[in-house]
């Protein structure tokens, strides 16, 4: 077991539909309060902007960041928030569906690699995501433990310490250039594989070792 190389994965938007699920629920809540298309778009934009800004500030757990981001987004369009609204947003993250390629791809890798998750999450949320994925991971490293969020180097350093592996021996797989690809390169990870699910433009200075549309051909890329 200890001789198997490590593959480390971002979870949200790489393995499960984090943004899609959260945004869909936000849209539903705005519509229920008679919000129109403009209000839906503004709440989405404010939510994402606030979430990213809070993750760069003094540390707070993901559930608190989600609450504050949701509050800011709804206040921006003068819509009230009920206690159950916040729970619906949190549940949308817990219940985010895995992408259809994930289970088979990870199952095919289990015999030859050790698999880890590196996520901007907390234990009482990520456990639902892992259960939905249906795969047992060899390590799970969270922002709530590192007391910082990706793209902070502290998250990746916590990961390397936990799995007891030098960066050049680790392959990191993720969807986000902002959260993962840049920092993994700066810290000297051996390989970086970009899962470009949303057909985005990458940063040429941080060109990954491979770019895939999903995990289907991940084994061949490794």
Per-residue pLDDT, 1: 62
- Domain total for the chain? 2
- Give the pLDDT score at 115: 98
CA gap 180, 156 in Å, rounded: 9
pLDDT tens-digit series, residues 71-96: 999 999 999 999 999 999 999 999 99
Domain boundary among 32, 66, 94: 94
Q: Final residue of a domain: which of 94, 110, 145?
A: 94
Bridge partner residues of 7 (DSSP): 115, 171
| Total-model pTM | 0.94
Q: H helices of 36-82, where? A: 37-55, 62-75
CATH number at residue 217: 3.40.50.1000
Q: Do 50 and 32 reside in the same domain of the chain?
A: yes
Q: Which domain holds residue 184?
A: 6-17+96-221
Last residue of a domain, which of 94, 129, 145? 94
37 and 145 co-located in one domain: no
């Amino acid at each position: 077991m200890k001789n198997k190389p490590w593959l480390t994965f971002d979870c949200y938007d790489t393995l499960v539909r984090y943004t899609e699920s959260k945004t869909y629920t936000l849209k539903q809540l705005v519509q229920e309060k008679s919000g129109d298309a403009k209000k839906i778009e503004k709440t989405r934009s404010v939510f994402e902007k606030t979430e990213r800004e809070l993750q760069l500030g003094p540390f707070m757990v993901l559930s608190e960041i989600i609450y504050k981001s949701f509050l800011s987004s709804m206040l921006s369009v003068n819509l009230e928030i009920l206690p159950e609204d916040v729970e619906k947003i949190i549940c949308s993250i817990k219940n985010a569906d895995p992408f259809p390629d994930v289970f088979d791809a990870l199952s095919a890798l289990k015999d030859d690699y050790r698999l880890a998750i590196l996520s901007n999450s907390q234990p009482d949320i990520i456990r639902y995501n892992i259960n939905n994925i249906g795969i047992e991971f060899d390590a799970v490293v969270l922002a709530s433990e590192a007391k910082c969020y990706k793209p902070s180097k502290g998250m990746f350093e916590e990961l390397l310490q936990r799995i007891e592996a030098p960066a050049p021996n680790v392959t990191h797989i993720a969807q986000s250039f902002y959260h993962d690809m840049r920092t993994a390169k700066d810290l000297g990870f051996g390989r970086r594989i970009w899962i470009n699910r949303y057909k985005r433009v990458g940063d040429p200075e941080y060109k990954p070792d491979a770019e895939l549309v999903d995990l289907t051909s991940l084994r061949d890329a490794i």
